[in-house]
Structure 1
Amino acid sequence: FAKGDDKAAEKFKEATEAYEVLSDEKQRGLYDQFGHAGVDPNSGFGGGGQGGNPFEGFEGFNFGDGSFHFSSSGPGGEIDAEELFDAFFGGGRRRPRGPRRGADLQMHVSLSFQEAVFGASKDLGLRYQIRDSKTGKVSVKEREVTVEIPPGIDNGMNLRLSGQGAEGDPGAARGNLFVHVVVEEDEYFHRDGLDVHTEVPISLTQAVLGGTADVRTLSGEVEMRVPKGTQVDTKLVLRGKGIKQLHGGGRGNQIVHLKIEIPTQVTARQEELMREFDEATKESGTGISGKLAEAAGSAFGALFGKPKSDAGEEEEEDDDDIPKKQAAH
Structure 2
Amino acid sequence: MALVLAFIFYFLIGISNSYGQLKVGFYDETCPQAESIVRNVVSDAVLSNANIAAVLLRLHFHDCFVEGCDGSILIDDGNPNAERHAFGHQGVGGVEVIEKAKEQLEAVCNGVVSCADIVALAARDAIALANGPSYEVPTGRRDGGISNISLADDMPDVSDSIEQLKVKFFNKGLTEKDLVLLTAAHTIGTTACFFMTKRLYNFLPGGRPDPTINPAFLQELKAKCPQNGDANARIPIDSGSQQSFDIHILQNIRSGFAVLESDARLNDDRTTKSIIDSYFGLLNPLFGPSFEADFVDSIIKMGEIGVKLDFQGNIRRICTSFN
Same fold (TM over 0.5): no
Compare the two structures and name the one with the higher helix fraction.
2
Q: Which structure is higher in RCO with an 8 Å CA cutoff and minimum separation 6?
A: 2
Q: Please state which structure has a larger fraction of its residues in strand.
A: 1
Larger radius of gyration: 1
TM-score by length of 2: 0.22
